[in-house]
Amino acid sequence: MSTADLGLPVDVPSTALFTDRYELTMLQAALKSGAAHRRSVFEAFTRRLPEGRRYGVVAGTGRVLDAVENFRFDTPVLDYLEREGVVDAETLEWLAGYRFRGDIWGYPEGEVYFPGSPILRVEGTFAEAVLLETVVLSILNHDSAIAAAASRMAVAAGGRPLMEMGARRTHELAAVAASRAAYIGGFASSSNLAAGFRYGLPTIGTSAHAFTLLHDTERDAFTAQVESLGRTTTLLVDTYDVAAAVRTAVDVAGTDLGAVRIDSGDLLLLAHRVRQQLDDLGAKDTRIVVTSDLDEYAIASLAAAPVDAYGVGTSLVTGSGHPTCAMVYKLVARATSDDPRAPLLPVAKKSLGGKTSIGGRKWAARRLDEDGIAEAEVIGSGPVPPDLTDHQLLAHLVHNGEIIGREPLDTARTRHLTARAGLPLSATQLSRGEPVLPTEFA
């Protein structure tokens, strides 16, 4: 299945240089030592969740698959590497024919994860698998951080729609990825047209304060917007005086005005006042949208307010204080020789200071209690216990270099709702705490 099969209108460009130089210098040295072709297993995981987070959310897997598929060293890239003396001629020749021909397993996108979870497992020769480290971590660390923040905000919103509006608060390409990750985490729409174009996300947006300021009066601005976009549009009512703007908005658009947006001030107080005013004017179905530097805590504080939807920008696209998930990509097993039949040997770095890892090719499963609620994340490298066979988490994403794990974005979004609902209730608390599930190593 290609991006075209999912209706995506554009392809990912070459991702070959989305990497660190030492990946290529390691490759060169391994080719010379003869170890480059040993069968190897790498795993992406995190040793801890960001402080205060109860669970992580897997996002970016679909983008990883695109990156793997488009990891190609074309002539301009090879010329650059040669000109800069990054690698020698033998390595350049090997890179010219590079294609990932191994297997990738991973937690499906939208699934939750915990410390030690083997979120992605990459199997192939050392040479072909080590090159993917940087781009894999770049995508998973960013997208999973955004999705986790989005999930917390969705919980705080209690079913009210969330709109992603953070494009102007981050790098232009990161903004598109953030919109995608936010949708997986529970947001309903995005202001980012590039995200709508690329991933088919619903997009929203009507006007900013500049549109009101452009016109001689607020009435002129509202009239122009309603005549252009219809009575179901959303009018921004906090440019001057909110109460006066609401009166003008209903007078111009009528009682079937779609919504009003409040972008500043005491949102809790204003929401109550505006709701009462709209009701008194007969606009009982006109919705109230609030924006203005919201995060999950501000959204939670508005739970009792008559708010119909939230627009979130800065806090979302920066991971609400945690812009990365601290995922790492480690070699956990390698063959004893370059013979394809050679047995795998577990390997692990020995380190102090919390950077230890556990060797071995791992499986992961989630143990449930008698009510079907998750009670532990179980990870092992031996046989899977019979009682966990039906609860394994890793899905086959790439087989012999062929992408087999692509899926519609709505599938990942729905999966996240299901996964989050299967966690203990304390997972939805916004107060600081430990991961909601313990990680057990079998």
Least confident span in 12-26, 221-235, 243-257, 284-298: 12-26
Residue 173, pLDDT above cutoff 60:
yes
Residue 2, pLDDT above cutoff 50:
no
| Average pLDDT of span 426-434 | 90
Contacts of residue 270, defined as CB under 8 A and 6 or more positions apart, other chains included, come to: 238, 242, 262
C-alpha span between 395 and 265 (Å, rounded): 47
pLDDT per position as a tens digit, 50-78: 988 999 999 999 999 999 999 999 999 99
Calculate the alpha carbon distances from 139 to 15, 87, 132, 182, 270 in Å: 12, 25, 11, 14, 39
Residue 287, pLDDT above cutoff 90:
yes
Give ranges for CATH 3.20.140.10 in the chain.
3-131+326-441
Separation of first and last alpha carbons in the chain: 35
pLDDT per position as a tens digit, 143-161: 999 999 999 999 999 999 9
Give ranges for CATH 3.20.20.70 in the chain.
170-319
Six token digits for residue 169: 């608060």
Using pLDDT thresholds of 50, 70 and 90, give the confidence band for residue 7.
low
Residue 142, pLDDT above cutoff 90:
yes
C-alpha span between 349 and 170 (Å, rounded): 35
What pLDDT is recorded for position 124? Answer: 97
Residue 351, pLDDT above cutoff 90:
no
Task: Look at residues 59, 318, 64 and name the one whose alpha carbon lies nearest to residue 167.
Answer: 318
What pLDDT is recorded for position 107? Answer: 98
CATH architecture, domain defined by 170-319:
Alpha-Beta Barrel (3.20)
Q: How many CA atoms lie within 13 A of 288 on its CB side?
A: 25
Least confident span in 4-13, 101-110, 153-162, 362-371: 4-13
C-alpha span between 432 and 353 (Å, rounded): 23
What pLDDT is recorded for position 74? Answer: 93
Using pLDDT thresholds of 50, 70 and 90, give the confidence band for residue 3.
very low
Least confident span in 99-113, 204-218, 262-276, 348-362: 348-362
What pLDDT is recorded for position 11? Answer: 60
User: Measured on CA atoms in the order 412, 413, 414, 417, is the torsion positive or negative?
Assistant: positive
pLDDT per position as a tens digit, 323-346: 999 999 999 999 999 998 899 999
Residue 47, pLDDT above cutoff 60:
yes
Residue 442, pLDDT above cutoff 60:
yes
What pLDDT is recorded for position 1? Answer: 43
User: Measured on CA atoms in the order 13, 16, 21, 22, is the torsion positive or negative?
Assistant: positive
What pLDDT is recorded for position 4? Answer: 47
What pLDDT is recorded for position 431? Answer: 85
The CATH H-level (homologous superfamily) assignment of domain 3-131+326-441 is nicotinate phosphoribosyltransferase (3.20.140.10)
